[in-house]
Structure formats: C-alpha cells, structure tokens
C-alpha cells in the first residue's frame, strides 16, 4: 500500500483586513471593510470578523455592505503590504518543505509527508507554522490537516479564526458523508443547485450516485465528484503549478460610452495584466476582453495569437478589433476587464527557442 500522505492547508484569517488592523491600531476591534467605497460601484475584497457579524462577505457590493453596517470603516487595498506579508509567510512554508503550492496571497497547500521535524507530526508542524506566522507577521492563520488536498482545505475552514483541525484517514469517508454539498470545495453555487435539484444534499447523497449517472449529469467532473464523496483525492501538491490565466478589471464610478475612452481603458488594463504576467515569468498567447454594460449584460471576446501578447501596435490593433460586433460606442459600459491566458513558462519557452536555432 502507498504510504499515507500528510497535507496541510494554511489559510490566513481575513488577510487584507487583518493587515490593516495590524498596521493601524485605530481599526482594531472595529468593522473594517477593504475594497471599494460605499458611494462607488466597487465590491468588498475582504472584511474583518467584526464586519462579518453584520452579514458582510467578500465580493458583496460595497453599497450593500454599507447598508448592512453604516458604521463600518472602508479602506482601499494596499496590495504592496499584502504581497510583502505573503512573501514572508511563504518563506516560513519553505523552511519546512519545498512542496508548497500557493493558491493566492493568503493560502497554500503544503505536503509534509517526508518532513522529520516535530517527530514527523503534521499537526505539530501546522502548529509550529501558525506560531511562526504570528511571530513574524503578527497575523493569524488557520490550518487544516489531512491525507489529501480536498479534506485539508475543508478542515482549514472548520474552526476559523485561528483554527487547527485534523481529519484522519479513517475519518475521511464518514466526514464527507455528513458534509453538505454547499461546503464542498470546488463545487460552485450553480453546480450545487443542480445537485440539490437531483436530490443530492450531502456527501452521502452524492455517494449513492453511480459513476455513470454522475457522468450523465456532470460530464468530465464526474470522476472528481465520485472520488471526493468517498474521501479520495490523489492530486499532488504542485510546487510548479502554472497559473491558468491572469486578469484585471475595473468598475467605473460613472458609466463610459465613447469608443475611444473604452479603448484607452482597455490599453491600460492590458499593460497591468502584462506586468502581472511578467512578474510570474510567464508569457501569454490568448487575449480576452470582458465588457459589462450598464444593464449588467456581460460579454467576452477572445483571440489566440501565434506570438506572445505584448503592447506592440499589432496587439493593440487586435484589442480594438475584438470590439467589433459589440455595442461599444452605442451602449454605456460599467465594467471592463482584460484576461491573459494560454500561459507559458518563459524559461521553458526560451529552451524551445534555443532548440529551434539548432534544428
């Protein structure tokens, strides 16, 4: 039999808001919202636990958050401060294992199966990591420990904030049986509603469906659902995972309509997206434009290029060409976005380019 893996999922508690409360004592113990101001059409990036008591959550419109808690303090994000804290936390991770898979600035998977520190106990390692994060950054993390990624992720949400939760191999299948579908990581709202319409409300209900039946309703995702409801998840912790896409978007305080203004905004967004891609040492080949009109109707237009996406005149011409057969210039626009995908590692690309020189 294969040895049981030891996977830790670390998730920072109210990360952006916690950094603001750490750096500015006047925000402590108060409902704090990081994101757009209430008089804008922005959204909540994250909020303190004091704000969550009012029903406020991430991705909620800031105007709605204000109605729920008029006394809340709204602050703009300081991403440099968040990235700095994230880098410190990742250095702590790599002090324990090289098998670290960051999911975002504030969460990551760690495979500590072969780590001998703390007598090889994943729970003790997780405790030590939480303590190191608190000591180095002044921030609180929650940790989930289990034998696979799915259950470790679920476990990290169990006792927030400052949580530490362990799901043993002999507990996995039973734990998932009792879990409601809306708590399954990776099953979104639409899929959860579809499952509930089929009578699938818990992991036990999902387990009663055969693989063939799940394939009929959920296609390629069926194998994953069939396994996780049995506590099975063989996905490795991938320390070399390449992002699938990089995107930026902006919501305007006032709708814009002029075609040239839309183009100018898209140019700016493209430059920002390319900077993010460059920071990751990646190259993109697919360019996608997202447009949300004043009435919330949303469209996207994409183009995959034979060369890397850049800010050269040829790429900018393609960006403008993507606006053809849209209502830009005729309808007001409230949001624009640019996403870069078909990403390639730059070092890998250079390797193949060098090979081409000799062929």
C-alpha 76 chain-centroid distance: 19
Over residues 64-73, the pLDDT tens digits come to 999 999 999 9
pLDDT of residue 244: 77
Distance CA 336, CA 330 (A): 15
Each residue's pLDDT tens digit, 136-149:
999 999 999 999 99
Share of the chain above pLDDT 90, in %: 66
Half-sphere exposure of 93 (CA within 13 A, CB side): 27
pLDDT at 242: 64
DSSP bridge pairs for 165: 144
Residues noted as catalytic? 107
Q: 218 or 312, which is more confident?
A: 218
pLDDT at residue 236 in the model? 92
* 3 state SS of 141: strand
Residue 113: which residues within 8 A CB-CB, separation 6 or more?
3, 4, 5, 6, 7
**Residue 236 contacts by C-beta under 8 Å, 6 or more apart in sequence?**
111
Q: Is the pLDDT of residue 350 over 60?
A: no
CA 319 – CA 259 distance, rounded (Å): 12
* Reported confidence tier of residue 346, pLDDT bands at 50, 70, 90: low
Quick: pLDDT tens for 169-206: 999 999 999 999 988 988 888 899 999 999 999 999 99
Q: What is the DSSP letter of 41?
A: T
Domain ranges of the chain: 1-167, 172-228, 245-350
Nearest to 342 by CA among 294, 290, 307: 307
Cα–Cα distance list, 155 to 45, 94, 106, 111 (Å): 23, 22, 16, 15
Is the pLDDT score of 353 beyond 90? Answer: no
List CB contacts of 233: < 8 A, sequence separation 6 or more: 148, 149, 150, 151, 227
pTM of the model: 0.71
Mean pLDDT of the chain: 89
Residue range 1-167 forms a domain whose CATH class is alpha beta
In CATH terms, the fold of domain 245-350 is: Dna Ligase; domain 1 (3.30.1490)
Number of Cβ atoms within 10 Å of the Cβ of 33: 28
Best CATH choice for the domain 172-228 from the list 3.60.70.12, 3.50.50.60, 1.10.150.20, 3.20.20.70: 1.10.150.20
| Cα separation values, 31 from 26, 36, 79, 185, 190, Å | 11, 15, 20, 27, 30
């Amino acid at each position: 039999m294969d040895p049981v893996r030891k996977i830790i999922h670390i998730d920072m508690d109210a990360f952006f808001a916690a950094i603001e409360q750490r750096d500015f004592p006047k925000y402590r113990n108060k409902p704090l919202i990081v994101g757009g101001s209430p008089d804008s059409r922005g959204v909540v990036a994250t909020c303190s636990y004091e704000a969550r008591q009012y029903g406020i959550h991430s991705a909620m419109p800031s105007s709605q958050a204000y109605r729920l808690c008029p006394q809340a303090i709204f602050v703009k994000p300081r991403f440099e401060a968040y990235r700095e804290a994230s880098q410190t936390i990742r250095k702590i991770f790599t002090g324990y294992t090289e098998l670290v898979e960051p999911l975002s600035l504030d969460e990551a998977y760690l495979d500590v199966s072969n780590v001998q520190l703390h007598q090889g106990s994943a729970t003790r390692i997780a405790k030590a990591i939480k303590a190191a994060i608190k000591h180095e950054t002044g921030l609180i993390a929650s940790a989930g420990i289990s034998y696979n990624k799915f259950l470790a992720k679920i476990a990290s949400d169990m006792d927030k904030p400052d949580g530490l939760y362990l799901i043993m191999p002999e507990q996995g299948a039973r734990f998932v049986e009792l879990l409601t579908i809306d708590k399954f990581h990776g099953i979104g709202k639409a899929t959860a509603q579809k499952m509930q319409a089929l009578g699938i409300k818990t992991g036990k209900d999902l387990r009663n469906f055969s693989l063939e039946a799940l394939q009929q309703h959920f296609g390629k995702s069926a194998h994953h659902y069939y396994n996780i409801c049995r506590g099975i998840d063989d996905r490795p912790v991938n320390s070399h995972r390449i992002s699938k896409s990089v995107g930026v978007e902006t919501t305007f305080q006032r709708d814009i309509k002029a075609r040239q203004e839309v183009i100018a905004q898209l140019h700016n967004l493209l430059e920002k997206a390319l900077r993010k891609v460059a920071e990751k040492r990646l190259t993109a080949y697919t360019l996608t434009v997202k447009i949300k009109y004043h009435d919330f109707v949303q469209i996207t237009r994409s183009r995959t290029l034979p060369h890397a996406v850049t800010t050269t005149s040829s790429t900018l011409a393609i960006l403008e060409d993507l606006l053809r057969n849209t209502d830009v210039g005729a309808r007001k626009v409230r949001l624009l976005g640019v996403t870069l995908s078909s990403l390639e590692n730059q070092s890998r690309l250079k390797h193949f380019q060098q090979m081409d020189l000799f062929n």
